[in-house]
Chains A and B, each alone.
Chain A
Amino acid sequence: MKQGAQVGKFGDHIRGLREKRAGFDSAFSLRQVATRCGITPAYLSRVERDEVPPPGEETLVKLADELDEDRDVMLALAGKISSDLRAVILARPRLFAELIRALKSAPEHAVLRIVREVRDGDW
């Protein structure tokens, strides 16, 4: 049924995120979230119960934005990588495979500092 996604994890994760919010805000009911993401409540319900494979990239991104989840995390949990990231890796697959392995055990703050922090200067 699933390809790449961790069995029983993806649907649980989506439901967990949504229900946490629904506990405080009725705008996060199954019906309302599904409508805002352009899918049917029945389909979202099946996704949450892991009865169908995770949706495509476009819907996953909408779900991530709706549930305030990081888009890459959402895609990774669904066993996918974003099309832009795929293009980056495919351009230099060996180099990026090496890079990811090298960073595997580095702490998160160190990875963030190396890869992503924006340096301030004189202005």
Chain B
Amino acid sequence: MPTLESNRLVFRFPHIEESAQFSIEFQRTLRIPDTDRTYSLPPGLGLFPLRHVEDFADRLDHATISRGGVVMPMWQAEAMWLNFHSRRPYDGPSFPVAIKVAAGKINAVSGETWRPGLNRHPQDYMVSPQQPWLDGFAVKPGVIRQFVAMPLGDGYTVEHQISGTEEWGGLQIQVAPLKNHAWQKIRAAWREKVRTPHFAEDRLCDSSSRLMGLGAGGLMKQAIYPDQFQLDDWDLESMDRVFVTLLHARDWKSTTGESAPHHPPTAQEYSKAGLPWFDYYGCDQASLPGGEKLASIASVGELFKKKTGAAMPNCEDVETGVPKIVGPRQVRVGEW
């Protein structure tokens, strides 16, 4: 069963490898402008706090409690990204895991409604450590639309656009380890490789809804990589899953007794301060095509304009300068 440690979800698979460990962080970030432009990677501005839902059973609704998992605060129109980290044993490569991520039970990679297990046609999961992070819904090859929190019931979420309802909201995460035989195979190959002399260098009108779902924000360069293993290499019996309820940050204090995180900076403020944007050096690898159903979803900005007739605040394009190149083990730290 996953654990919650220092605001990270940690998955362990000791029956396969004693030190096998995979963790997911929920990184705060700025919302990129929702225009036709495709942006580089925005920074990580620190972790969202995560708490067990059952600790607040008297202050959360019955449906939220029955789903279990954790609860996390987000402001309306706030963005986030998921940072993946596979721990590696000292004498082996990072332990691979397959990660399935859905928002409102709509798969963020394929756009399909939630299905158990892992599926290949189309591939509906990512593989860590190959995939270092996920910032949004895969809408076309090498491009995602950023995860942006919007109140459930207002019709802004991808869940609403694809399923026609807003029943679930939040994020759903499932993690599967590699089967032991497949792990031993890549571990042996790694050992063989390192024995050789060559070392490889490796602010809007607030809705009354307490719960949030994820809508589609601006466009960002980000590849979702195809699985290099066989589908049968994944140990589906050892899969773990977590429901992440997104609570409006306005209600965080009355629910948990803790102060809500401050509002994140806007892309305009961040850019004006001359702070860096990022590119991933692995971004020239092949990418999955993006979800067919996700290709045609409307962004939060487009829906806002349609519903209110006004442009969404802070949506103007910004100067990003030359992005800093980051590698797979580096977190995109935004000095703010």
Residue positions of A touching B, CB distance < 8 A? 17, 20-21, 23-27, 68, 71-72, 82, 84, 112, 116-123
- A72 CB contacts on chain B under 8 angstroms: 6
Select one of B5, B90, B105 contacting A116, CB under 8 A.
B5
Select one of B3, B67, B105 contacting A122, CB under 8 A.
B67
How far is it, in angstroms, between the C-alpha of A12 and the C-alpha of B56 when the chains are bound?
Answer: 43
Is B243 in contact with A117, judged by CB distance below 8 angstroms? no
Select one of B69, B105, B201 contacting A27, CB under 8 A.
B201
Smallest Cβ-Cβ distance to B201: which chain A residue? A27
How far in angstroms is the closest Cβ of chain B from A119? 4
Query: Contacts A68-B87, A118-B2: A24 and B194 contacting too (C-beta < 8 A)?
Result: yes
- B243 CB contacts on chain A under 8 angstroms: 120-121, 123
Interface pairs A-B: 10 shortest CB-CB = A121-B68, A116-B3, A20-B90, A26-B199, A119-B68, A121-B67, A123-B67, A24-B194, A117-B1, A118-B2
Is A120 in contact with B68, judged by CB distance below 8 angstroms? yes
Point out which of A71, A118, A121 has the most chain B C-beta atoms below 10 A from its C-beta. A118
How far is it, in angstroms, between the C-alpha of A120 and the C-alpha of B174 when the chains are bound?
Answer: 11
- A82 CB contacts on chain B under 8 angstroms: 6
Is B9 located at the chain interface by the 8 A CB criterion?
yes
How far is it, in angstroms, between the C-alpha of A8 and the C-alpha of B201 when the chains are bound?
Answer: 32
Q: List 27 A-B contacts (CB under 8 A).
A: A17-B90, A20-B90, A24-B90, A24-B191, A24-B194, A25-B194, A25-B199, A25-B202, A26-B199, A71-B6, A72-B6, A82-B6, A112-B3, A116-B5, A117-B2, A118-B9, A118-B69, A118-B242, A119-B52, A120-B68, A120-B241, A121-B65, A121-B66, A121-B243, A122-B68, A123-B105, A123-B243
Is B52 in contact with A27, judged by CB distance below 8 angstroms? no
Smallest Cβ-Cβ distance to A17: which chain B residue? B90
Chain B 165-194 near chain A by CB (<8 Å), digits 1 or 0: 000100010000000000000000001001
Q: Taking chain B's interface residues, is the majority helix, strand, or loop, or is none over half, making it mixed?
A: mixed
Is B210 located at the chain interface by the 8 A CB criterion?
no
Is A118 in contact with B52, judged by CB distance below 8 angstroms? yes
Smallest Cβ-Cβ distance to B193: which chain A residue? A24
Chain B 57-95 near chain A by CB (<8 Å), digits 1 or 0: 000000001111110000000000000000110110000
Is B315 located at the chain interface by the 8 A CB criterion?
no
Query: Contacts A117-B2, A121-B68: A20 and B91 contacting too (C-beta < 8 A)?
Result: yes
How far is it, in angstroms, between the C-alpha of A111 and the C-alpha of B202 when the chains are bound?
Answer: 36
- B241 CB contacts on chain A under 8 angstroms: 120
Is A120 in contact with B168, judged by CB distance below 8 angstroms? no
Point out which of B68, B90, B202 has the most chain A C-beta atoms below 10 A from its C-beta. B90
Point out which of A24, A72, A84 has the most chain B C-beta atoms below 10 A from its C-beta. A24
Query: Contacts A27-B201, A121-B66: A68 and B1 contacting too (C-beta < 8 A)?
Result: no
Smallest Cβ-Cβ distance to A122: which chain B residue? B66
Is B4 in contact with A118, judged by CB distance below 8 angstroms? yes
Is B88 in contact with A68, judged by CB distance below 8 angstroms? yes
- A120 CB contacts on chain B under 8 angstroms: 1, 68-69, 240-243
Chain B 1-21 near chain A by CB (<8 Å), digits 1 or 0: 111111001000000000000
- B202 CB contacts on chain A under 8 angstroms: 25, 27
- B199 CB contacts on chain A under 8 angstroms: 25-27
